[in-house]
Amino acid sequence: MSSSTLSKAERTAAQAWDYLSSAMAETASKAASVAGDKSQEWADRSQEFAGKAAGKAGGKADVAWARANAAAAALAGRKPSTPWGLLIVAGLAGAAVGWAAATYTRTALAKQAEAEERELTETAVIVGGTDV
């Protein structure tokens, strides 16, 4: 082989190597980008799950704290306090339900009385047979 043929072969090999290297680098870059996106997605999901778990744990910790305080008060001989707020709300709710039931009953009885009065009037006209 001549030197011009060898240099042409070397140039072709170098060019092929450059194309291959460029393609591999581009593929690796795309793969890294996809992996970065996926890792960010997984990180977001894990943060979401951690937040939910913390919320549940926080609620359970509050309940546990309230129970521990109630147990300590019972051991000390103190009676639990009366839940006045809950009693007031329950009383107001009961009064509202009672008022609504009474209003509905009054309305239903009034309608029933009107219907009976109408029926009696119609019956009286038919029985009386008044001619005008």
Model confidence over 87-100: pLDDT tens digits?
999 999 999 999 99
Find the angle CA(17)-CA(20)-CA(26) to the nearest 5 degrees: 140
Q: Which amino acid is at 29?
A: S
Mean pLDDT of the chain: 81
First to last CA, the chain: 137
93 and 73, same structural domain?
no
94 and 31, same structural domain?
no
Q: Which amino acid is at 16?
A: A
Distance between CA atoms of 119 and 73, rounded to whole angstroms? 68
103 and 74, same structural domain?
no
Length of the chain: 132
55 and 11, same structural domain?
yes
64 and 1, same structural domain?
yes
Tell me the average pLDDT across 97-126: 91
Distance between CA atoms of 98 and 104, rounded to whole angstroms? 10
Q: How many domains does the chain have?
A: 2
Residue range 29-78, pLDDT digits in tens:
887 777 777 777 777 777 777 777 766 766 777 888 888 888 888 888 88
104 and 70, same structural domain?
no
Boundaries of domain holding 77: 1-81
51 and 32, same structural domain?
yes
